[in-house]
Amino acid sequence: MATAAAVVDAGDAPDPTVRNLLEQESLKWVFVGGKGGVGKTTCSSILSILLASARQSVLVISTDPAHNLSDAFQQRFTKFPTLVRGFSNLYAMEIDPKVENDDFSNEGMEGFLSELTNAIPGVDEAMSFAEMLKLVQTMDYSVVVFDTAPTGHTLRLLQFPATLEKGLEKMMALKNKFGGLLNQATRLFGLGDELNEDAMLGRLEGMKDVIEQVNRQFKDPDLTTFVCVCIPEFLSLYETERLVQELAKFEIDAHNIIINQVLFDEEVVESKLLKARINMQQKYIDQFHMLYDDFNITKLPLLPEEVCGVQALQNFSRRFLTPYKPALQRGALEEVEQRISVLKTALQEAESELDRLRKGKQVA
């Protein structure tokens, strides 16, 4: 990889922005994923805002149990698409990765479903995801952005077709084993034929069809891409490498990496701790460029405040389209003057503190 990266000319390097996502008009599904705490929700929110400026209609969905979309937009979202305030074509929704039991008002049916979900780990998430996809497919969104849970959950999401296949096999095994006992029980208690195992089997079969249909789209690079979000640290680099390898295994396209929370050396920094951190970050940023020399790698600066609310998201969105350049360049006349000014201010504050302490000591 190192040699491959070395021969890439600066002019041939991919654009360090997300413009390629906005220009790919065929895109239908955009996944945003990575390690926990790296800023996935902020990035998926901003990507959805940018896409809304280029596409007819956009839906951003949170599949993370710890929903943060409501916090990012400062607006309450539910499991149904809600128009984001300030937009005419951007919608958001938050789904829980567990089976919605609203359709199963009978305890016996819930127990049967519970036995199924306990027997096959992940089938409850798969069924919930399938129901959500069925809902989304009935709507006419130009592009759907997924704000996914941390990496492990995301990889499970990609395995859902296989998980539902196991669920169907289990259902068939239970049907053969009990030989219609469940049907007899439902009729005995006057529950009606709509709650028999054939109805459940049909529902599961329908979900499997939906997921397999969408899964074919997920494997089409013209329709689907995965954006990896990370920070310049070892664990995040390791997690991103694992994610990229798994995506390749599932035949899902990925060619964008967003490196968040970057400290830039050119900023006026006088802290030894921050300088050490800058050097550490740069080491991992270099590794990202070496490993992913054919990816669009976007670096975002660490901000002094949280990015919350539509206005803050829109302000920060320009960093996704234009590479960040600090106002001052290390070693330039203006930067040295600024550093001297910062040091003078710090010295004045320290002298004032010293005077205050001396006066306090004299009074005592």
Which ranges in 219-332 belong to alpha helices (H)? 234-249, 272-291, 310-321
Single-letter code of the amino acid located at 344: K
279 assigned ligand-binding residue: no
Q: Is 140 a catalytic residue?
A: no
Between CA 71 and CA 77 the distance in angstroms is 10
101 assigned ligand-binding residue: no
Write out the DSSP string of 94-128.
Answer: E--SS--GGG--SHHHHHHHHHHHHHSTTHHHHHH
40 assigned ligand-binding residue: yes
From the number of C-beta atoms within 10 Å of its C-beta (0-12, 13-18, 19+), residue 360 rates as exposed
176 assigned ligand-binding residue: no
42 assigned ligand-binding residue: yes
244 assigned ligand-binding residue: no
Between CA 29 and CA 55 the distance in angstroms is 13
Query: Residue 160: which H helix or E strand, with range?
Result: helix 160-178
Angle at alpha carbon of residue 226, lines to 323 and 277, rounded to 5° = 45
Between CA 85 and CA 88 the distance in angstroms is 8
Please pick, among 9, 12, 15, 64, the residue that the annotation labels catalytic: 64
At 116, give phi and psi (nearest 5°): -65, -45
309 assigned ligand-binding residue: no
Do residues 63 and 147 touch, judged by C-beta distance below 8 A?
yes
Q: Reduce the DSSP state of residue 152 to 3 states and report it.
A: helix
Nearest CA among 71, 74, 70, 45 for reference residue 60? 45
118 assigned ligand-binding residue: no
215 assigned ligand-binding residue: no
39 assigned ligand-binding residue: yes
Which residues are annotated as catalytic?
64
Per the annotation, where are the binding residues?
Answer: 35-42, 233, 260
